[in-house]
């Protein structure tokens, strides 16, 4: 039986808050209406559009009472996996088929094996930054997010009974 500690739940809320702040851009309209022609600008526009879509998605998920923090975190993990794990065969379909635990383990492997310096790694960088800022003990990236998902899902299961 898992006990849902107040400090761990607060940590989960803080991480989700940091994820939400990172994906909601300050200037949504500017991102959509600003069209430059060079390649770097197109890459930045794709990245910014991804943030715009994330902001709408996560705001809707968190405002809709049918969704809970565990599903929001699982969706973000899946998107990070799809973006950063495509070289390892993580397609959209595979991401949907595999569980969030396998995705977290694969993301942890990516974090330990290569630098996160690509534009597509922005979601994984948000997760790494949140782990560094919110994890107050010596848990690894994988342990931190695995325990968070387990506790958030445990909270949801107990709410229903």
Identify the residue whose tokens are 């974090």: 111
What is this structure's pTM? Answer: 0.65
Alpha-carbon distance of 93 to 4, in angstroms, equals: 32
107-142 pLDDT tens trace = 999 999 999 988 888 889 999 999 999 999 999 999
63-113 pLDDT tens trace = 655 667 777 788 889 889 988 988 888 887 888 888 899 999 999 999 999
Cβ distance 55 to 76 under 8 Å? no
1-44 pLDDT tens trace = 333 444 554 555 566 666 655 554 444 444 444 444 555 666 67
Band of pLDDT at residue 54, cut at 50, 70 and 90: confident
Mean pLDDT for the stretch of residues 58-67? 65
Alpha-carbon distance of 19 to 90, in angstroms, equals: 22
pLDDT of 155 strictly over 60: no
Confidence (pLDDT) at 4: 40
**Cα(first)–Cα(last) distance of the chain, in Å?**
15
Confidence (pLDDT) at 75: 83
Confidence (pLDDT) at 119: 80
Band of pLDDT at residue 62, cut at 50, 70 and 90: low
Hey, what are 95's tokens? Answer: 């991401």
**Higher pLDDT among residues 46 and 87, named by residue:** 87
**SS3 per residue for the chain:** CCCCCHHHHHHHHHHHHHHHHHHCCCCHHHHHHCCCCCHHHHHHHHHHHHHHHHHHHHHHHHHCCCCCHHHHHHHHHHHHHHHHCHHHCCCHHHHHHCCHHHHHHHHHHHHHHCCCCCHHHHHHHHHHHHHHHHCCCCCCHHHHHHHHHHHHHHHHHHHHC
Cβ distance 100 to 74 under 8 Å? yes
Alpha-carbon distance of 66 to 47, in angstroms, equals: 28
Confidence (pLDDT) at 18: 64
């Amino acid at each position: 039986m898992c006990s849902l500690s107040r400090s761990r739940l607060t940590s989960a809320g803080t991480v989700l808050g940091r994820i939400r702040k990172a994906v909601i851009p300050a200037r949504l309209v500017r991102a959509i209406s600003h069209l430059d022609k060079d390649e770097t600008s197109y890459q930045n526009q794709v990245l910014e559009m991804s943030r715009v879509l994330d902001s709408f998605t996560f705001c809707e998920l968190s405002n809709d009472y049918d969704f809970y923090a565990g599903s929001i975190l699982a969706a973000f993990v899946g998107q990070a996996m799809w973006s950063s794990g495509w070289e390892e065969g993580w397609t959209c379909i595979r991401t949907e088929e595999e569980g969030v635990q396998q995705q977290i383990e694969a993301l942890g492997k990516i974090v330990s094996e290569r630098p996160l310096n690509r534009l597509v790694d922005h979601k994984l960088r948000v997760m790494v930054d949140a782990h560094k800022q919110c994890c107050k003990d010596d848990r690894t990236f994988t342990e931190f997010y695995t325990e968070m998902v387990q506790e958030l899902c445990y909270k949801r299961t107990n709410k229903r009974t």
